[in-house]
Structures are given as structure tokens and as C-alpha cells.
A and B are shown apart, each in its own frame.
Chain A
Amino acid sequence: MGLVCAAGVVLAQSQVDPTRGETLARPCAACHGTPDRDPLPLTPSLARQPEDYTVMQLFLLREGLREAPQMAGMLKNITDPDFFDIAAYYARQAPARGTAKPDLQLRARGAALSREMGCGSCHLRDYSGQKQVPRIANQREDYLASTLKAYRGNQRAGPDTSMNGILYRVPDSDIEALAHYLAHQ
């Protein structure tokens, strides 16, 4: 019952238009990729991200609260309702699957670290994300590693600071193992 009710609330709040979102998001594909093409290095895949997550990040980027030089100026004419449509479009898009073979040892170490750090709690056990918490399964490895380091160094802010807390004093080697594991689901 819980799931049905929760979904009801999501609908009530959003009269979203993913088709309009697709048009708005056309310029994004050059860097963020398409179902057939991976994003550029250090650039996140936006496909199948929870809508709340995409809306929140677009807001933070437009307001200059999250710094990403590549995004500077890209959102200046994008309004709040646009955010919801763009988010709806990406939430319905299938992510491209990377083909790189995992390093099994590194991947196993990452899996153990993920369990220790409770990643699967907020991001869910399949790392598909929920609410404002992103999908990290099969995200680009270089983007994951750089984002985790940015959280540790307090250069990246989320909707709260829990990621900064989790990454407190975590060494590079652990971050790299985690990123490898999450990128190879």
C-alpha cells in the first residue's frame, strides 16, 4: 500500500511533460550522452535518474550553489517548470551500458566498502536511487571517483551534507574501489 500512496503523491505534484523535456534537453546530449552513446569523460549519465534528484541538481546549478564550470550559463533561461519536464524525460531514458570489463579484485573490494558505508541504504540495494538520491549503478567511473573526492574535500554540496559526512577521512584507494564497483553493476 505504501508504494501506491507514495506514487500518488508524486503524480499529484507533477503535471510533467517528458516530450517537452526531450526538446529542452536536446543540447544536453552532446556531453551527457544518449541511450547509444556514453557521456564524455567526467560527465554524468542522466538517464533513469530519480526526478527529484535531477530537479534538485538543476536548481543548484542554475542558482550557482553547485559549481560545475561546464554548466555555466547553460541553465540561465531554464525555469522551474522546465526542470520538472527535463527530469521526467531523463527518468524515462535507458542508460547506455559501458562495455569495459571490471577488475574483479577491485570490484570485490568496492562491494565490501559499499556494505560498510551503507551506500545501499539511501541509494537502494541496486543503487537505482530514490527521491533526491541519485542512481549510481553503472554511472561513469571517473565521474563517480571525482564526485566522491569533491564531497570529501567539501567542494561539492548536495541537498544536505550527509555525503560529506560519509566521505570524512576516506582514502583515495577506497574511493577508487567504490567507483569501480558502482560503475560495473
Chain B
Amino acid sequence: MNTFLQNCLRSTRFKALASCALGLVGAYALAQQMVGPQTKPPSAKEVEQRKSKGGYYPERMKNPNLSGHAGRMTVTPPSEIPVDKIKVPKGFKVELWAHGMPGVRMMARGSKGTIWAGTRIIGRVYEIKDKGGARQHRILAEKLVQPNGVAFQGGNLYVMAINRVFRYDGIEDNPSVKPIELTAQFKLPPDVHHNWKFIAFGPDSRLYVQVGSPCNICEPSPEHGQIRRYIADGSGMEVVARGVRNSVGFDFHPQTGELWFTDNGRDWQAEDGPQDELNRVSKFGQFFGFPYCHAQGIPDMDFKKQDPCKGVTLPVALMGPHAAALGMRFYSGSMFPKEYVNSIFVARHGSWNRSTLFGFDVANVRAGADGKNAKVTPFMTGFKDPKENKFWGRPADVLLMPDGALLVSDDQNGAIYRVSYQK
């Protein structure tokens, strides 16, 4: 069919075009048939069988042929990044701050101004330096298994891949320092799914690490589905939050020091949910519901038990259906208007398990320090075209700069944007 379409679209002859148009109608009808809803819903017995197979229910969706969006591994030149399509509230400005880094995702900043960014499939860690108005980058590490996690403390950079942990001592003074491997000390499970790491140092100087659930929906083994903290050398592990599906972003409240984190809701339950969560850890070791209770107290359709939401800490805010709420940071800068202080910026990478795209933006969440009265507002938009149901960019993480500007990484374009404000 591809060949047919290409021949059609390449043809310059009028007659051929007309016959192509007819052919296309036929091809479209055939495609409709191919992707049409599955014939019948699963029986109770089949539901039971599917539970041990990750809980995939394409027939619950309007489009049963949903699949993840393919990332772009090749370099996107700045001329192909339509920054002018990005919308922010009045007074804010967006510029392309750095580019040419395929798959760029989670960011950390050194005390002397270096930015490091992790990636997933492309396996690289980028190092970015601001050289008088222009940015230069190099590939610090490569061929790692999804080195998504980066964090900085005490002059040292920590890089966490799914299966390995490295520390680069004094890297800003010694750019060619060889990393020290800490893999054995951290004892991370080997499963890869939902186990690319988000890492950050807390106000307690401990390294917080997510260990996701290695499935769409399942009863995970005891070492999964949690956020942990470690002493920076990999010792003293403690579980901070349990019942977590897959968190790829957290930060600590500027006033209370409490851990707040995003969590991605399960797939294949419904188009509109369960929604992604923004959570607050108010007690050490709290349980957040996975796999029995989702979002604002929605029982799982497949993993059922009595009182599924009993003892579950419900979220501060709902971040949208299949939104992929990932990197988040509290705003404690002085550049943005004062109503943004202590609010949260959340990168919503955007949905794939939904017929109509949702997310593909940076949201702003305002809430009390106690987590009450949360309000979610889209802040940085324009990465998707709702009419065409297509997207061109995917915000993955946000990072606050010392001058109060906000960096936003976009792994679809290998770019980092800078959002600033001027009265």
C-alpha cells in the first residue's frame, strides 16, 4: 500500500491522479476494516488470563491500534524546530536555548553552571555549557541502557542508567575525570520496563531514586513500584513511597522539604483514565495505590480487591488522561510573577494510549503546601495540533535556572528551550 500511495502522490499526470484518488478511497475503506474495533469484548475468563499478561485491552479504546510514538534518533536542525508555534502567557518569552542532542530528557545543573541531560534509547548523557550567549555540548557518556537519571551534589555528577550507576567526581574542574561505578552498592533490580530512573538529591542530602513497576498493570514484586532514598554512596536504602506505578519526576517543596512526585496512570483501562497523578509524600513509606487504586480513587478494572482505596494516599492533583506527566520542579525563582512562587511546572510528554492526543505541554500547578486546592493550568503549549491530532514536540523535563528562567527539554527534537519573563 505504501508503494501505491507513493506512486500516486508522485504522479504528475492528471488521469493517473484521478484513478489514484479512487484507489485511495478503497485503500482507506480497507484500512478502516483493518484497524476497526476488535470483534467482541473479552470474557470474564479471558480477563483473568490477561492479568498475568500485563493487562492489555485494545478493545476498550476507540482506536484499538494504538502504539507508542517513535522517538527521533537523528539530529533535528534548528530550522526544523518551529519555536514560534510555542505559546506561553503574556509577558513570557520562549527561545531555543540548545539543540542537536537527540533524545535529550532529564536535566541537572552543576554549581558552576554546567547542565547535564540524560536520555533513554539513544543511551547518551549530554553535557552542555553556556559559552557567552551560545551553548556547546559534548557527549559525556554513551552506549548505556537508558541513562535517564542525572543529579549533582558536592561537586559530583551522578548518572543512573537502568542497570548501572556512575559518579563523576569534581567534573566541572576536571572534565576528563573517569567515572566511579557504584552499580554494586545500589543493588537495583534488572528489569527494564518502567525502570529508567529519575533521580534527585533531597534537602536531607540523600539521593532519591524511582524503581517503577515493570508492567502496564501487575502485582509487582517487593523491590518494584516505589521511590527509594540512599546515602549518596549507595548505602542505607529506605523506601520512601510505595504503590507507585512509574514516576519520572519529583522535587522537594521549597518550604516544607516534602517530596512531591508525578506518577503515570495505567494504560488500556479507558481513553480518559485513570489520569496521571501529582502526589505528595506527607508520611514516610506512604502507599499510593498501584495496582488496585488509581487517580482520585478509581478501582482497577482487572486487579480487584475489597476496599481497593483503603489506606491509599490520594493525589494532590490529576494531571490528565495518559498525559505522561514527567519532569517537575517547584518554582522558587524571582524572575516570574510572584503568583508562580512555590507553584510547580510539570512537563507533560503527551499521550500515546489515547485516540485523541493529550498533553504535549508544560502545565503549571498551584496548590497549598498541604497539597490542598490544587489547580492545573496549561502553561507552555503549541507542541500539538488538535485539529490534525498530531504533535511536533514533547516536553520531558523542566529545570529552574539561577536567574529564575525555566529550561524545558524536548526529546522529540533534541532541543532545550528557555522560558523567561519580562514585565
Contacts and interface: CB of A to CB of B under 8 A. Distances in A.
Contacts of B28: 1, 3-4
Contact of B68 (A4, A8, A59, A159): A159
Contacts of A64: 143
Given A63-B122, A159-B70, A161-B194, A11 B53 contact: no
B154 interface: no
A120 interface: yes
A130 interface: yes
B73 A59 contact: yes
The A interface, classified by DSSP as helix, strand, loop or mixed, is helix
Interface residues of A, number: 48
B291 to A, nearest CB: 13
Interface in B24-78: 24, 27-28, 31, 34-35, 38, 42, 46, 49-50, 52-54, 56-58, 64-68, 70-71, 73-74
A10 B24 CA distance: 16
B53 A157 contact: no
B34 A124 contact: yes
Interface string B194-216: 11100000000000000000111
B53 A170 contact: yes
The B interface, classified by DSSP as helix, strand, loop or mixed, is loop
Nearest to A170: B53
A126 interface: yes
A34 B388 CA distance: 39
Interface stretch (A23-31, A110-118, A141-149): A110-118
Contacts of A1: 28
A78 interface: no
Given A63-B143, A159-B121, A165-B215, A118 B68 contact: no
B170 interface: no
Contacts of A65: 121-123, 143
Contact of B56 (A10, A117, A157, A169): A117
B9 A8 contact: yes
Nearest to B56: A118
B341 interface: no
B18 interface: no
A22 interface: no
A122 B53 CA distance: 15
Contacts of A170: 53
Contact of A160 (B46, B52, B57, B68): B68
Given A118-B268, A162-B193, A164-B191, A125 B145 contact: no
Given A116-B56, A118-B58, A122-B65, 6 more contacts: A3-B27, A65-B121, A118-B268, A132-B68, A161-B192, A162-B68
Would you list the 8 A-B pairs with minimal beta carbon distance, nearest first? Answer: A118-B56, A165-B193, A122-B67, A121-B58, A132-B70, A161-B193, A164-B193, A7-B5
